[in-house]
């Protein structure tokens, strides 16, 4: 009986040790994948469009990737505000699976069937290596959730509630009112 108990204890200890090793390897792999995703998000510049304040010259890094406060006006299509990419369940990607994030990133198709706004360069991201797309998704899911519901999208005939960036023909831009000259302060 003692022999059976010793064999069982040994088997249990060995299994626990092996699971611990594989768990540590999995954690290291997860950490490496998240680090790769963080790198790609930085290099691609996701924060430029998806972090509030960036287009106004003062990015709010406490809400990093929490959704913009400036919309892109696309003539004939409307105004689109870059959404919250954090895992907040109400205002971000918190209910999306990793695979759904990868699908949206690489095909432009959201889980609800809608297509991403034309300003989102998913056609470029379609060329990402599969592991890089999954690394981006893993990183996004690892972020601290930010509760920030962005307004819109706004149709071409709807009133907007945000600043709007819109391409303008040169003659239209050149005829916009000029801002006042800065006041010079005495030294």
pLDDT tens track for 54-94: 999 999 999 999 999 999 999 889 999 999 999 999 999 99
CB 126 within 8 A of CB 107: yes
Where do we find the tokens 């003539």?
A: 75
pTM (2 d.p.): 0.78
- Residue 144 confidence (pLDDT) above 80: yes
184 vs 166: which has the higher pLDDT = 166
H-type alpha helices, 45-97: 46-50
Any residues with CB less than 8 A from the CB of 161 and at least 6 apart, and which?
Answer: 151
- Residue 11 confidence (pLDDT) above 80: no
What is the band of 178 on the pLDDT scale with cuts at 50, 70, 90?
Answer: confident
CB 85 within 8 A of CB 99: no
User: Looking at residue 1, what is its pLDDT?
Assistant: 54
Dist. CA 127–CA 105, nearest whole Å: 10
Dist. CA 48–CA 66, nearest whole Å: 11
- What is the mean pLDDT of the segment spanning 144-161? 94
Dist. CA 49–CA 146, nearest whole Å: 16
CB 50 within 8 A of CB 70: no
What is the band of 166 on the pLDDT scale with cuts at 50, 70, 90?
Answer: confident
User: Looking at residue 150, what is its pLDDT?
Assistant: 95
- Tell me if residue 74 falls in helix, strand or coil: strand
Where do we find the tokens 């989102």?
A: 120
Phi and psi, residue 164, nearest 5° = -130, 130
pLDDT tens track for 12-43: 454 445 455 434 444 655 999 999 999 999 99
> Of 13-17, 159-163, 174-178, where does the model show the most confidence?
159-163
First-last CA distance in the chain: 94
Sketch the domain layout of the chain as residue ranges.
Answer: 48-167
pLDDT tens track for 98-132: 999 999 999 999 999 999 988 899 999 999 999 99
How far are the Cα atoms of 66, 113, 147, 171, 173 from residue 88, in angstroms, in the given order?
Answer: 9, 20, 6, 43, 39
CB 186 within 8 A of CB 150: no
105: left (phi over 0), alpha (psi -120 to 50) or beta: alpha
Dist. CA 143–CA 88, nearest whole Å: 9
């Amino acid at each position: 009986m003692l022999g059976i108990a010793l064999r069982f204890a040994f088997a249990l200890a060995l299994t626990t040790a092996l699971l611990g090793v594989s768990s540590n390897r999995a954690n290291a792999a997860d950490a490496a994948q998240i680090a790769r995703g963080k790198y790609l998000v930085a290099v691609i510049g996701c924060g430029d469009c998806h972090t509030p304040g960036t287009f106004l010259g003062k990015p709010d890094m406490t809400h990093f990737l929490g959704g913009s406060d400036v919309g892109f006006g696309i003539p004939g299509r409307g105004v689109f505000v870059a959404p919250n990419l954090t895992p907040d369940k109400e205002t971000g990607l918190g209910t999306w699976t990793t695979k759904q994030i990868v699908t949206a990133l690489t095909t432009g198709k959201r889980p609800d069937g809608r297509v991403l706004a034309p300003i989102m360069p998913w056609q470029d991201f379609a060329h990402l290596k599969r592991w890089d797309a999954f690394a981006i998704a893993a990183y996004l899911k690892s972020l601290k959730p930010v509760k920030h519901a962005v307004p819109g999208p706004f149709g071409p005939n709807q009133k907007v509630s945000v600043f709007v960036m819109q391409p303008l023909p040169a003659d239209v831009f050149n005829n916009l009112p000029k801002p006042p000259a800065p006041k010079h302060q005495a030294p």
